[in-house]
């Protein structure tokens, strides 16, 4: 009888323990992004945007976004991942605007800048920082 009770208790507890192990805290998710942010800062310091021709700037910024995307693969916290992905999408649009030479006065450009601010604020509320590049 003791074995049956023990087996039943284990059967009930096992799924709960598996679910708890799979969740990532907000702090751990933000730490992954912060680590990438440090790498982006270091890379940017070594490869200054001011020292390159304008035609190379979009590719440089794309490289920085790829560094962030690599970190995003390690983020499983749903809230942080959603906020992070929103900011990355906005920054991707900024790179495309640079490639297309979209005027900064266009409504699409202005909307994207507003989206970056809004989504960046959500990430800042969760993690305490915004993405830089």
Position 8 scores a pLDDT of: 44
Q: DSSP letters of 25-84?
A: -HHHHHHHHHHHHHHHHHHHHHS-GGGS-GGGHHHHHHHHHHHHHHHHTT---HHHHHHH
Position 17 scores a pLDDT of: 44
- pLDDT digits (tens), the chain, 133 positions: 555 544 444 444 544 444 455 689 999 999 999 999 999 999 999 999 999 999 999 999 999 999 999 999 999 999 999 999 999 999 999 999 999 999 999 999 999 999 999 999 999 999 999 887 7
Residue 52 falls inside a structural domain? yes
Residue 100 falls inside a structural domain? yes
- The count of domains in the chain is 1
Position 132 scores a pLDDT of: 78
Residue 46 falls inside a structural domain? yes
Residue 74 falls inside a structural domain? yes
Position 2 scores a pLDDT of: 53
Residue 19 falls inside a structural domain? no
Residue 118 falls inside a structural domain? yes
Residue 115 falls inside a structural domain? yes
- List Cα–Cα distances, 63 to 40, 59, 133, in angstroms: 9, 6, 10
Position 131 scores a pLDDT of: 85
Q: Can you list the pairs that 17-21 forms with residues at least 24 positions away whose Cβ atoms lie under 8 Å?
A: none
- Residue whose entry in the numeric block shows the structure tokens 């993690």: 127
Q: Yes or no: say if 115 and 90 are a contact pair by the CB < 8 Å rule.
A: yes
Which structural domain, as residue segments, surrounds residue 102?
25-127
- List Cα–Cα distances, 7 to 19, 20, 81, 110, in angstroms: 19, 20, 37, 61
Residue 98 falls inside a structural domain? yes
């Amino acid at each position: 009888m003791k074995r049956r009770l023990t087996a039943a208790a284990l059967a009930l507890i096992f799924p709960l323990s598996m679910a708890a192990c799979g969740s990532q805290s907000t702090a751990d998710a933000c730490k992954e992004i912060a680590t990438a942010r440090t790498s982006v800062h270091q890379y940017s310091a070594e490869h200054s945007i001011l020292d390159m021709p304008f035609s190379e700037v979009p590719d440089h910024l794309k490289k920085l976004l790829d560094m962030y995307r690599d970190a995003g693969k390690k983020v499983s916290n749903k809230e942080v991942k959603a906020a992070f992905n929103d900011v990355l999408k906005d920054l991707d649009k900024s790179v495309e605007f640079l490639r297309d030479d979209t005027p900064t006065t266009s409504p699409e450009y202005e909307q994207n800048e507003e989206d970056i601010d809004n989504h960046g604020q959500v990430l800042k509320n969760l993690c305490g920082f915004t993405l830089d590049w």
